[in-house]
A and B are shown apart, each in its own frame.
Chain A
């Protein structure tokens, strides 16, 4: 079943939409959740939660890209789960190390701007659009998919050192842009 048909099921409040979403994107969502939650059962639970979140949010939302939409819900739900449940072992997934890498950038963004998440995202989209394809892919794989450096290296046919170097440069360029746009205070 293609995405528009699944979306149509949601809009018609047909409960099979949830099942169709899980059938088509279950593996994709499981992979996203699995990066953040080391426990497979937690990850599977989050996938179900994400599919239900689709049910609750479509309508009013009507996403053009169901995979990315469900993926984002899944990612956010998984991150929320990590935060809530401190007993979840941290560090084994990509979440904690990715956070550490972003710490320097995040600390510089002013509290006043914290509410302007939409503005930050818009700036980030422009920044990502200006990057070479491979740098963008590596950045998104690291901080959206939360893949480990080794996984990114394998996926892109690069060495781990090259991935680290590319990420470091990209973060430095993003920091420059944030300073330039007045969103970063040293």
Chain B
């Protein structure tokens, strides 16, 4: 038997052996994947670390939150991550709302809170109510989570900028921005999820009660109350 014939004969081996030994498919881009992954890790790492470095101290005097809070300009979007628990949207680390006042009713706050809403003069087409979830209403200083009953998309006052997207649970993600009145910038005040059944969760910034974000909580409650 010559070597060619032997090689031919090897060609007739059991198909199971052939399948078992099939070389793994390797992308021609494989050598670059490691570098790309490292670059992604670096980018995401910076995105997580930088806000913490820039975060204002919680001991700073109240009333300065608008000047120190990270803000976004109109039209830009800050997407929460998709790895948060179902029904709760993530807020950027170190987020503090760009509100001019530190509590509801304080000077400057009406600029953010429309009078007609605050005074119950404005009727919205769709009734809605924010309900703090029983197991986390923020009373213990934890991040309060709210549930919105009814549709919120499309019937918010014009002071709000709402962006939407689709989460992997099939719910619409709403990022709620409120005009701060400072250089026409918009601050992110809450990230919300609106489910297919009309319910939604609003995720308040972590440590909101300590960082002047209680105003946001009150504002949302008040806003929701005025919608009824």
Classify chain A's interface size: 35 or more
User: Is the CB–CB distance between B3 and A106 below 8 Å?
Assistant: yes
Instruction: Output the least CB separation between B4 and chain A (Å).
Output: 7
A26 to B129, CA, bound (A): 58
Question: CA of A68 to CA of B21 in the docked complex: distance in angstroms?
Answer: 11
B7 interface residue, CB < 8 Å from A? yes
| B6 interface residue (CB < 8 Å to A) | yes
Assess whether A72 is in contact with B12, with CB atoms less than 8 Å apart. Answer: yes
A155 to chain B: which residues have CB within 8 Å? 23-24
Give residues of chain B (1-19) contacting chain A, Cβ–Cβ below 8 Å: 1-19
B22 interface residue (CB < 8 Å to A):
yes
Residue B169 is within 8 A (CB to CB) of chain A in the complex: no
Count residues of B near A (Cβ-Cβ below 8 Å).
25
Residue pair A98, B13 in contact (C-beta under 8 Å)? no
CB neighbours (8 Å) of B1 from chain A are 106, 109-111, 113-114, 120
Q: Are B23 and A106 in contact (CB under 8 A)?
A: no
Which residues of the other chain, A, contact B6 by a CB distance below 8 angstroms? 102, 105-106, 109, 120
Using a Cβ cutoff of 8 Å, how many contacts connect chains A and B? 105
Known: A31-B23, A137-B20, A137-B21. A144 touches B4 (CB 8 A): no
* Cβ proximity bits A145-183 to B, threshold 8 Å, 1 near / 0 not: 101000100010000000000000000000000000000
Q: Are B19 and A102 in contact (CB under 8 A)?
A: no
Contact, CB under 8 Å: A144 / B9: no
- Which residue from chain A places its CB closest to the CB of B3 in the assembled complex? A106
Is there an interface contact between B5 and A144, defined as CB atoms closer than 8 Å? no
CA distance in complex: A31, B21 (Å): 13
Q: List the B side residues contacting A102 at CB < 8 Å.
A: 3, 6-7
| In the A-B complex, the 9 residue pairs with the closest CB atoms | A68-B15, A140-B21, A109-B1, A106-B3, A106-B6, A65-B15, A121-B12, A68-B18, A137-B21
